[in-house]
Amino acid sequence: MQAKDLLTDNIVTLKTSDSASTALSLMEELRVSHLPIVNNEVFLGLISDTDIYEINDMELPIGNHNLSLNKPYVHINHHIFDVIRLVDEQSLTLVPVLDSKNNYLGCITLATLVDNFVKITSVNHPGGIIVLEVNTHAYSLSQIAGIVEANDAKVLCSYLSTFEDSNKLEITIKVNKIDISGIIQTFNRYDYIIKGFYSEESRYGDLLDDRFQSLMNWLNI
């Protein structure tokens, strides 16, 4: 999924001639902490509410003031993971998107980002979640997928968690099968360490809630 697939048209842009009070009012109305400054399709930067609060005269044009952010943006062909990384690195509430000629096309909001992240990680699909722990040298995604498929299931999504100063990996997989008891038994036969498993009946347990809440906190919603 690329940035061009995530664009929203409900974010207005500012001009350098707009006042700081106008910018702040629009942020409050749109419930964001950032707005793009665009003159004739040229993206000039992203102003934050922190920048505005440091302005002494709220009726002066925003073009008279320096911006704290280093002109953050993505191009239309950037992947959704690039967008998420930029949001995390600069604590953004929206991300400007530019075309190949660096003209402003629109923004990606956090709401749109979360909605699409939920889709690509299959959070809303019925099934079960299994959390495994393996040594780094023993990790094999093909073997893990093979075990799942041998039990008439498919891996809907998976991700790795690494730990500092550790040779352990934590692999979380979401499968398209509600009854995962057979999959669990097979992993046990292959001597995998199972840190947790959660089925649809238990609404994925606390793991899914915790992970999703962590994502929401991470994106500063």
Q: What is the CATH number of the domain that holds 13?
A: 3.10.580.10
Q: Which helix (H) or strand (E) holds 205?
A: helix 205-218
Rounded distance, CA 80 to CA 5, Å? 9
Among 59, 86, 118, the domain boundary falls at 118
Rounded distance, CA 212 to CA 220, Å? 12
Position 93: which residue type?
T
* 49 and 131 part of one domain: no
* 145 and 190 part of one domain: yes
Closest Cα to residue 128, out of 203, 211, 199?
199
Among 89, 118, 147, the domain boundary falls at 118
Instruction: Report the pLDDT value the prediction gives residue 205, as an integer from 0 to 100.
Output: 46
Please report the sign of the dihedral spanned by the C-alpha atoms of residue 158, residue 213, residue 107, residue 89.
Answer: negative
Residue 122 binned pLDDT confidence (cut-offs 50, 70, 90): confident
* 50 and 61 part of one domain: yes
Query: In percent, how much of the chain has pLDDT > 90?
Result: 55
Among 118, 146, 171, the domain boundary falls at 118
Residue 23 binned pLDDT confidence (cut-offs 50, 70, 90): very high
Q: What are 28-63's pLDDT values in tens digits?
A: 999 999 999 998 888 999 999 999 888 888 898 888
* 84 and 184 part of one domain: no
* 98 and 40 part of one domain: yes
* 33 and 68 part of one domain: yes
* 114 and 11 part of one domain: yes
Closest Cα to residue 81, out of 125, 136, 121?
121
- Domain membership of residue 176 as a residue range: 121-218
* 106 and 206 part of one domain: no
* 10 and 71 part of one domain: yes
Q: Which helix (H) or strand (E) holds 131?
A: strand 128-135
Q: Which helix (H) or strand (E) holds 133?
A: strand 128-135
Domain total in the chain: 2
* 103 and 46 part of one domain: yes
Q: How many CB atoms lie within 10 A of CB 142?
A: 7
Residue 211 binned pLDDT confidence (cut-offs 50, 70, 90): low
List strands edge to edge, sheet with 104-109.
74-75, 94-98, 104-109
Q: How many CB atoms lie within 10 A of CB 79?
A: 12
Average confidence score pLDDT of the chain: 87
Instruction: Report the pLDDT value the prediction gives residue 194, as an integer from 0 to 100.
Output: 94
* 29 and 134 part of one domain: no
Position 202: which residue type?
S
Instruction: Report the pLDDT value the prediction gives residue 200, as an integer from 0 to 100.
Output: 61
pTM of the predicted model, to two decimals? 0.71
The residue-averaged pLDDT of 93-117 equals: 90
* 125 and 18 part of one domain: no
Residue 188 belongs to domain with CATH number: 3.30.70.260
Q: Is the pLDDT of residue 204 over 50?
A: no
